[in-house]
Structure 1
Amino acid sequence: MTGADALARRLGLGDAVAIGLGSMIGAGVFAVWAPAAQAAGAGLLTGLVLAAVVAFCNATSSAQLAARYPTSGGTYVYGRERLGEWPGFLAGWSFVIGKTASCAAMAITFAAYAVPPEWHKPVAALAVAALTAVSCFGVTRTAGVTRVIVAVVLAVLAFVVVAGLASGDADPSRLTDGWADAGWYGVLQSAGLIFFAFAGYARIATMGEEVREPQRTIPRAIVIALSVTLVVYGVLGLAALAVLGPDALARSISPLADVASAGGWGWTAVVVGGGAALAALGALLALMAGVGRTALAMARNDDLPSWLAAVHPRYRVPHRATIVLGVVVIALVFAFDLRGAIGFSSFGVLLYYFIANASAVTQPREDRRFPRWLAVAGMIGCLVLVATLPLPSIVAGVAVLAVGVAYRVVVRLVRARRASA
């Protein structure tokens, strides 16, 4: 690519870590506990550990690949370089479509916490428009806003834990209550659902073209962001189970608000609701940045319309891809209620990381920073978690893949016919 088409390297280690944390410690942390408890009861703690292990394997593969290919696109680029055009396309397609739906879900989640029901969709659309504008004015704006959001959300999550444990309702025996009833299938399904909340470190890799000293910065940022997230989720999972117990947690509509208000402090719901709304905005901003960069990489290779590959001459961001993404997300906000998209998003993300791990397996010794067996373990883990997701999520994921494959086949046939004419 030419200098006019390249993005500017303006992100340091702190910026990259903030973007990763903003993606992982987003609205998912406020929503994932109830479906995980429905699947596994107290076994969700084991599911959390399994999800963390798979996430760590995936993160090491992503870090290793990002150091070798520090450009926009993440696993779309790695798959093309290491495995071929089709695996790369499937990774990019899964990421763009799944995360576009997740963007709409995050916007609706923000509005659900921020305003009355009759205002949900208009306010969600305004939030998307505002964050699209932020994204178009440079990546440092994105990182700066994300830093503030992450700091506030971490403070709210700390408040949830302290308020819940201070309520006097915490009972350590609930941590193992009914664990045997769930069985391994339930535990694995909870792991697949919880994995949805760990997947944000991909955003650091997809923005590799904008990170300074990428060979050094990206691996460190991925490991730091994932490690902080593991600690936060572990503490929250323990507190939620100890305070509410698995049955009440499974029935809860707003589990962390219920944890914070267990001591009878009704006002805590307002604090947690504000934190959830802000977390949704942070996740939406980071998601839009990652999807825009992956769309940019795909457009450069004609796997999406080539005019999406334009980079703004002043702000050095993929402005066309970002604006189109914003328009599509706003349309989805008004067309659907996508808050139930956790399973579908997990399907796409797990396929994305399966291809990342497969790509890492093929890297030569001189490019390897971690043992090959970690990538193999990541591949196996992704397949197991995909297989145990709810059936509707699997069906929807396969359907989306079929649409993507058909699109690419038709485009290639049309181009071949024009070339031969």
Structure 2
Amino acid sequence: MSEESPAVGNASTGLERQLGLLECVLLSVGGMVGSAIFVFPGTTGRLTGPSAIVAWMGAGVLMTTIALCYTELSLAFPQAGGPAVFPYETLGPSRVVRAFASYLEGVSYSVGWAFGITVSALAIADYVGMIVPAASGHAVPIALTGIALSFLVNALGVSVTSRVNLVFAALLLAILVVFAALGLARADPANYRPFVLDGPVQFLAAVQVAITAYGAWTVIPASAEEIREPTRTIPRAIVASLAVSTVLYGLVLVALHGQVAPSAFVEGNSAVTAPLGVAATALGVPLLRDVLLPFAALVAIFTTMLVGTMSAGRVLFALGRNGTLPGPFGAVSDRFQVPWVGLAAVSLLASALATVPQYFFQLLVVSAIVGTGLPYAINLLSFVGLRYYRTDVDPGFRAPGGYALAGVAFVTLGVAMIGLGLTNVLWSLGTVALLTGVFVVRYLRSPELIVAPTE
């Protein structure tokens, strides 16, 4: 299958290797530490009390099982848009099957990110309304402005994106570290009792919620062609960013539960909807509550949008390059060395979705299932395919445990999907059916484009 791979090499693609270890780690951390840490601890606290600390850190460990499978795939095929490349290179002898799997993974991933960017942009509008009351009621214009800024920063090149993210991520981490330090120093041990509110089912539900906060590390395999020394940098960056995020989440959760009693996490209470704000109030630091945390939330959400636009744009670029999307998606800007068509497509879709904020919940569901669960499942199969079909490829890194690790990763994915209702599944199946229909129509009209990609 290797002879069918699209040409790889920076001279042929226009992409440049500009990302080092620090940039990759901060892109990943900046993408992960988004709005989730400002909202989800309230939900996990309601589900399982202070044991949510263990749930969040356990979720990070579980996500690492998936990430290790991706790491081996990334080093086997260190190409731009890696998540869409892996199934095309590994899933058996049929080129059409591999092309469909690549298309479904890549488009689902990108659509999922577009929905996630939309949700983030609408959340920015909410936070701006809190800080500037006059902005309340203008959610759509504010969201569209945020999406446009995210596109602009990405369109100026990967070095600009990484520098902006570096500054924002540093500010965000500093504020969260200050919050954690104050919360730990002033923690009341009585607030950690009872440590577990309910049984294992509720604890697993908390793990499910927490896992959704660990996903943006996929920006690293998506940007593999722009990473310096990928063999050394990719595994270190993926593991380090997950470790940093897991520890940071753990510290924030310990600080939060040290300030807020388990009894406060009840439906309708602000401890569920704005947990860090409640903890900051308990700390008695108005500057932290009224200025620093809202600013950190805005920064966190915007960095997630930056990373999502960057990742999805490169995955669509890979699909343009292997022929499963029209050729223009494989174009790279001569001046800024970015896959501008993919970036524009993701931003335009997110902008369109932002004009229907009444479907916020449905967007969140599709983002979680179609944009996260389905792509992970396809690439865990790609990991198995790499081990089974591609014995000609030596990645230089072997994920520990092999097939057993993939089994654990599938279980992890199952945990992340627990509790989906019928309506959620129907929305997601409808989206997958629509994407499949587009592929079938394109294949029937121009089969040669899919079975014989442009070199």
**Aligned equivalent of 1:248:** 264
Tell whether the 8 Å contact from 1:164 to 1:170 is kept in structure 2 after alignment.
no
1:244-281 residue CA offsets vs partner (Å, 9 max, x unmatched): 23453454221111111213333422210110011111
Could you report, residue by residue, the CA deviation over 1:174-233 in whole angstroms, capped at 9, with x for unpaired residues? 3614133xx42x322322221111001101111111111112211111011111001011
Give matches, 1:370-409, under 5 Å.
Answer: 370-371=399-400, 372=402, 373-409=404-440
Task: Report what 2:340 is aligned to.
Answer: 319
Say if 2:99 and 2:324, in contact at 8 Å, map to a contact too. Answer: no
Shift of 1:295: 1.1
Q: Which stretches in structure 2 are left out of the alignment for 5+ residues? A: 1-6, 92-97, 130-134, 451-455
The amino acid that maps onto 2:178 is F
**Residue 335 of structure 1 pairs with residue 343 of structure 2:** no
Residue 112 of structure 1: CA displacement?
1.6
Question: 1:275 aligned to 2:291?
Answer: no
Give 3-state SS (helix, strand or coil) of 1:316's partner.
Answer: coil
SS in 1 for 2:398: coil
Identify which of 54, 63, 66 aligns with 1:55.
63
Output the amino acid matched with 1:209: E
* Distance in 2, Cα, partners of 1:326 & 1:36: 31
CA distance in 2, matches of 1:145, 1:242: 33
Which amino acid is the alignment partner of residue 374 of structure 1? L
- CA distance in 2 between counterparts of 1:40 and 1:399 reads 33
Task: Name 2:251's counterpart in structure 1.
Answer: 235
Counterpart contact for 1:174–1:242, Cα < 8 Å? no
TM-score, normalization by structure 2:
0.84
Q: Which of 224, 228, 236 is the aligned partner of 1:212? A: 228
Task: Extract structure 1 runs of 4+ deviating beyond 6 A.
Answer: none
Q: 2:189 & 2:326 partners in 1: Cα distance?
A: 54
Distance 2:27 2:448 in 1: 43
User: How far apart, CA to CA, are the structure 2 residues paired with 1:417 and 1:202?
Assistant: 30
Q: Which residue of 1 aligns with 2:126?
A: 112
**Which whole-Å deviations, capped at 9, do the CAs of 1:293-319 have from their partners, x for residues lacking one?**
111112223333322221001211011
- Distance in 1, Cα, partners of 2:178 & 2:321: 45
Q: Residue 339 of structure 1: CA displacement?
A: 5.3
Name the amino acid aligned to 2:117: C
Q: How many Å separate the matches in 2 of 1:194 and 1:320?
A: 33
Q: Which moved more, 1:273-282 or 1:389-398?
A: 389-398
Q: Which moved more, 1:346-355 or 1:215-224?
A: 346-355
Measured after TM superposition, the shift of residue 376 of structure 1 is: 2.1
Match of residue 294, structure 1, among 315, 318, 335: 315
The correspondence for 2:376, drawn from 353, 365, 382, is: 353
CA distance in 1 between counterparts of 2:149 and 2:120 reads 14
**Cα distance in 1 between the residues matched to 2:66 and 2:194:** 28
Q: In structure 2, what is the Cα distance between the partners aligned to 1:417 and 1:17?
A: 40
Match of 1:411 among 431, 442, 455: 442
- How far has the Cα of 1:4 moved from its partner? 4.8
Q: Distance in 1 between matches of 2:79 and 2:208?
A: 29
Query: What letter is aligned with 1:71?
Result: Q
CA shift at 1:65, angstroms? 1.0
1:369 matched residue in structure 2: 398
2:411 counterpart letter in structure 1: I
For residues 86 and 189 of structure 1, do their structure 2 counterparts lie closer, same or farther at Cα, with a shift above 3 Å needed?
farther
Give the C-alpha shift of residue 392 in structure 1.
4.0
Q: How do 1:161-176 residues align onto structure 2 when only pairs under 5 Å count? A: 161-167=180-186, 169=188, 171-174=190-193, 176=195
Identical counterparts, % of pairs: 26
- Check whether the contact 1:101–1:338 (CA below 8 A) recurs between aligned residues: no
TM-score of the two chains, using structure 1 as the length reference: 0.91
- Residue of structure 2 aligned with 1:67, choices 45, 60, 75: 75
Kindly indicate whether the alpha-carbon contact (under 8 Å) linking 2:313 and 2:346 is maintained by their aligned counterparts in 1.
yes
CA 71–169 in structure 1, closer or farther in 2 if over 3 Å, else same: same
Give CA deviations for 1:46-96 in whole Å, capped at 9, x if unaligned. Answer: 432442232110111111111111111222111121112333233212211
User: What corresponds to 1:5 in structure 2?
Assistant: 13
Matched letter for residue 331 of structure 1: A
Deviates more, 1:234-243 or 1:284-293: 234-243
- Say yes or no: does 1:78 pair with 2:97: no
| 2:208 alignment partner in structure 1 | 192
Contact 2:100–2:439 (Cα < 8 Å) also in 1:
no
Q: 1:93 to 1:324 in 2, by over 3 A?
A: closer
State the AA in 1 paired with 2:398.
R
Change over 3 Å in CA distance of 1:317–1:334 after alignment to 2: same
Contact conserved, 1:47 with 1:190, CA < 8 A, in 2? yes
CA contact (8 A) 2:18 2:159 kept: yes
Could you tell me whether the CA contact under 8 Å between 2:259 and 2:283 is conserved in 1? Answer: no
Q: CA separation of 1:339/1:162 partners in 2, compared to 1, >3 Å: closer, same or farther? A: farther
Distance 1:360 1:243 in 2: 43
| Residues 323-372 of structure 1 deviation map (CA, whole Å, 9 limit, x = unaligned) | 23222222222222565455443323132222222222333474352220
Contact 2:212/2:416 (<8 A) preserved:
no
SS in 2 for 1:23: helix
> Aligned partners of 1:227, 1:87: CA distance in 2, in Å?
30
User: Corresponding residue for 2:95?
Assistant: none
Distance 2:368 2:232 in 1: 29
Helix, strand or coil at the partner of 1:317:
coil
2:27 corresponds, among 19, 27, 31, to: 19
Deviations 1:124-154 (A, max 9, x none): 2112112211111110000000111111111
Specify the code of the residue in structure 2 equivalent to 1:362.
G
